[in-house]
Amino acid sequence: MMRGFLPAIACAAVLLATAASAAPADPRWDEYQLLMWQDHPPAALAGLQRLGFTGTKLFGSGGRIDPQTLADRRASGLPYYLENIATDLYAPYHRYTPGKPVTWLFDRDRERRRADPADARVFLRDPSLSDPAFAATVHARLQALVRTQGADRPLFYNLGDETGIADLAAPWDYDNSPSSLAGFRTWLRGQYPDLDSLNRQWATAFPDWDAVMPELTDATMRRTDQNFSAWADFKAWMDLSFADALHAGTGALHAADPAALSAIEGAQVPGWGGYDYGRLAGAVDVMEIYDTGNALQLAHAFNPSLIPLGTAFTPGPREVHRAWRDLLRGGRGMVVWDEAGDVVGPDGAAGPRGRFLQSLVSSLRAVSPALLVAAPSPSPVAVLYSQASFRTRWVLDMQPKGAAWSDRDSERENDDNAWRAARRQAATHLQELGITPRWLTSQTLEAGALQDTALRVLILPHAIALSDAEVAQVRAFAARGGTVLADTEPGVFDAHSRRRPALPLAGTAAMPQSIRPDGDPVGPDGMLAVLKSAGVTPPIQVLGPDGAVASGVDVHVYANGGVTILALQASQPWSAPPRLTIRLPAPATVRDLRRAGPPVQGNAMEVALDGIEPTVLALSPAPLPSPVLDGGTLRLDGPSPATLHAMRVDWQDAAGATLRSAVVRVPAGGVALPGVPGAATLGIADPLSGRTVLLPLP
């Protein structure tokens, strides 16, 4: 995709002051969104609507919108989102320029570095994320767009596509500009009690704060004392600058329209480029995520109100698997990349891929309302996401390569490392057990998240760099009887990436083989044994043909009041056993949300699992009530253990044609439905109960 960028303005107080924590919910997002990225003529827009598309793109590059394209969008009635509205600011090193590769600016700086490795000017980001002038530009541009487009209610305002400090998640020493260094020094004053403390940590002798300079990667590569503090602190500052800049853009939009939603697209693997998801997840309202390195799980865990989107590139079983996987992990829609033009023709006729997407999204929408109003069941297991450990692991891995670190592009940074592997293995085995962990950042750990008495287990995936405050919290958790698990000795380095003289958590963390990425012969059963020893038992057992915990199966357990939703999907296409045994803690009424048929009663059952698509079951104490219409109020004909039922409502005319369709949340007392001119009946489908009714309007 074309990629956008807007200046990240970490120290722009005027923007940070207006940034809101979250925009109000847009009811259109109760529907699973199918969005088209490529431009299409008016007749094709009508064809997209017939295929079930709910939105399309409208370019707003540099804040400018083509009047004819806008008129076409408005005439079609198909909602749109504004794309790349700050391309020039948030992604200058990965953006479309006619006749050039998208990375041409970044390539230029890399070539300059090869020609003269001593030229530090290649590390001046243009524009600087900390420049107040760019902050003002962002603020003015976004507010102007909301004034002109707000009446159309764009689905979201995309600040930038494939944004990053440099090129996506490539490592680079941006930003050494005067405004960034000034912001860095101000930030450091909040990290250290005084200049003497900083000099002791960094092993430097700066005479005053204005003299403080970070260490760049070349110098760090040459270090032999394993004190990477002056380098790591600067990298942490750049992560913060990037997140603050996006948050500032979000704040500018919310200030102009509290209902406006900000977004970024093409979110990258956790790591470089500003992709510290502990900071990034809360910076925008919508995020299109390339789900590598647990990116989707992390983003949604750190900001449950975030609207995650996936990307559809090619048809086929793997695309079906990915779409379902994203939905079960909290996804709310997909952006379709249609470079081949095989979704819909210029005349609006459906192409082969269009028919594929129509079928796929129809099946997703049959289940998505029930998932929308449920939440992952809480568990007593926490997992730490440590960005400081990533930085430390990276520099340890790269030191043998020396100056060649700068030849690594964003694609190479997708490569696995011990930090990602340990986190993936822990997440995989917990998912196979149906346990959704509470993901912690270093900040939430320091703030006392482990003091929650419901938590029994803490997993530290390759947490080799911990602050003194994190160490103290982990020790206190263990002293209270909590179980600490690690794949390697935690806290060998401090949070500034300086090796400690002694191991701060020696003997505190157990290191069972079941959570080590260097070898795991026992699969999820190993994790289960460790958790059971800590008093943690999965709420539902999903067993393979051998009677052991099924390996290769994602087990999702959601709660909606007294109703549990259980979703099972092969972790990778065709990776799961074809037959599974499910054991429940108590007898329940079990209904398959994806297949017609009466519910069954019991606490044990067998399930035939497809190699691609999931099985989704609703578990309730008794059969669920049916929807009824009482005057103009949609309600249930009896009490329900669920807190909410999300139902699909179609307003139909006398001939049965649908005039309007929407997902409606129905609480215990019911909900008043709006009138639709010409509507004679309501078609109501309740995915949770499986009841579908056609009701005459009064």
Residue 90 DSSP SS3 = helix
344 within 8 A of 51, measured Cβ to Cβ: yes
Residue 9 has pLDDT above 90, yes or no: no
Shared domain check, 655 and 513: no
Is the pLDDT confidence value at 516 over 80?
A: no
Mean per-residue pLDDT for 675-690? Answer: 95
Which CA distances in Å does 595 have to 78, 256, 296, 592? Answer: 31, 45, 28, 6
Residue 100 has pLDDT above 80, yes or no: yes
Q: Domain for residue 104, yes or no?
A: yes
Residue 327 within any structural domain of the chain:
no
Q: Which positions ≥6 away from 224 have C-beta within 8 Å?
A: none
404: Cα within 13 Å, side-chain hemisphere: 7
pLDDT over 80 at 461, yes or no: yes
Q: Confirm whether 276 is domain-assigned.
A: yes
Confidence band, pLDDT 50/70/90 cuts, at residue 56: very high
Residue that terminates a domain, selected from 475, 504, 532:
532
pLDDT at 14: 28
Give the list of residues 6+ apart from residue 136 with CB closer than 8 angstroms, or none.
12, 14
Q: From 363, 357, 364, select the one nearest 326 (Cα to Cα).
A: 364
Q: What is the CATH number of the domain that holds 593?
A: 2.60.40.1180
Range of the domain at 514: 377-427+436-532
What phi and psi, each to the nearest 5 degrees, are found at residue 50? -65, -30
Is the predicted pLDDT of residue 36 greater than 80, yes or no? yes
Give CA separation, 548 vs 304, 514, 526, 671, in Å.
Answer: 32, 15, 11, 45
Q: What is the mean pLDDT of residues 609-624?
A: 96
Pair 605, 476 in one domain: no
The yes-or-no verdict on residue 19 having pLDDT over 60 is no
Same domain, 51 and 150: yes
The rounded distance, in Å, linking the Cα atoms of 691 and 80 is: 33
State how far the Cα of 517 lies from the Cα of 162, in Å rounded to an integer. Answer: 30
Q: How far apart are the first and last CA of the chain?
A: 49
pLDDT for position 96:
87
Total domains in the fold of the chain? 4
Confidence of residue 539 (pLDDT cuts 50, 70, 90): confident
**pLDDT tens per residue across span 119-176:** 999 999 999 999 999 899 999 999 999 999 999 999 999 999 999 999 999 999 999 9
pLDDT of amino acid 11: 33
Give the distance from CA 560 to its chain's centroid: 22
Query: Residue 245's domain is classified under what CATH number?
Result: 3.20.20.80
Q: What share of the chain is helix, strand, coil (3-state, %, to 5)?
A: 35, 20, 40
**Residue whose entry in the numeric block shows the structure tokens 């997909």:** 334
Are both 490 and 576 inside the same structural domain?
no
Residues 613, 638, single domain; the answer is: no
The candidate with the shortest Cα–Cα distance to 682, out of 658, 655, 652, 661, is 652
Q: Is the pLDDT of residue 53 over 90?
A: yes
Residue 7 within any structural domain of the chain: no
Per-residue pLDDT band for 24 (boundaries 50, 70, 90) equals: very low
Do 552 and 528 share a structural domain? Answer: no
Helix or strand run (H / E) with residue 33: strand 33-36
Q: How far apart are CA 459 and CA 467, in angstroms?
A: 16
Are residues 566 and 641 located together in one domain of the fold?
A: no
470 in a structural domain: yes
If asked whether residues 69 and 131 sit together in one domain, one would say yes
The pLDDT tens digits of the residues spanning 384-417 come to 999 999 999 999 999 999 999 998 888 888 888 9
- Please say if the pLDDT value at position 520 is more than 70: no
> Would you state the pLDDT for residue 514?
62
What is the chain's mean pLDDT, rounded?
92
237 within domain boundaries: yes
Is 548 a member of any domain? yes
Q: Is the pLDDT of residue 3 over 80?
A: no
Last residue of a domain, one of 590, 620, 650: 620
Domain boundary among 273, 305, 337: 305
Percentage of residues in the chain having pLDDT higher than 70: 95
Tell me the whole-structure pTM to 2 decimals: 0.93
**Token pair of 313, please?**
């590139």
Whether 41 is covered by a domain: the verdict is no
Specify the pLDDT at position 408: 87
Task: Kindly state the DSSP code that residue 272 receives in the 8-state scheme.
Answer: S
Q: What angle do CA 97, 149, 28 make, to 5 degrees?
A: 100
Query: Residues 175, 179, 182, CA angle at the centre, nearest 5°?
Result: 100
Is residue 547 located within the same domain as residue 418?
no
Looking at the fold, whether 410 and 490 belong to one and the same domain comes out as yes
Does residue 522 have a pLDDT over 90? no
pLDDT in tens, 548-557: 999 999 999 9
Contact status, residue 387 vs residue 274, Cβ threshold 8 Å: no
Q: What are 72-98's pLDDT values in tens digits?
A: 999 999 999 999 999 889 999 998 889
Q: CB of 643 within 8 A of CB of 561?
A: yes
> 499 and 560: one domain?
no
CA distance 265 to 268: 9
Work out the percent of the chain whose per-residue pLDDT is above 90: 88
* Per-residue pLDDT at 15 exceeds 70: no
The answer to whether residue 630 scores a pLDDT higher than 50 is: yes
Q: What pLDDT shows up at residue 62?
A: 87
Same domain, 468 and 581: no
Task: Convert the pLDDT of each residue in 337-357 to its tens digit.
Answer: 999 999 999 999 999 999 999
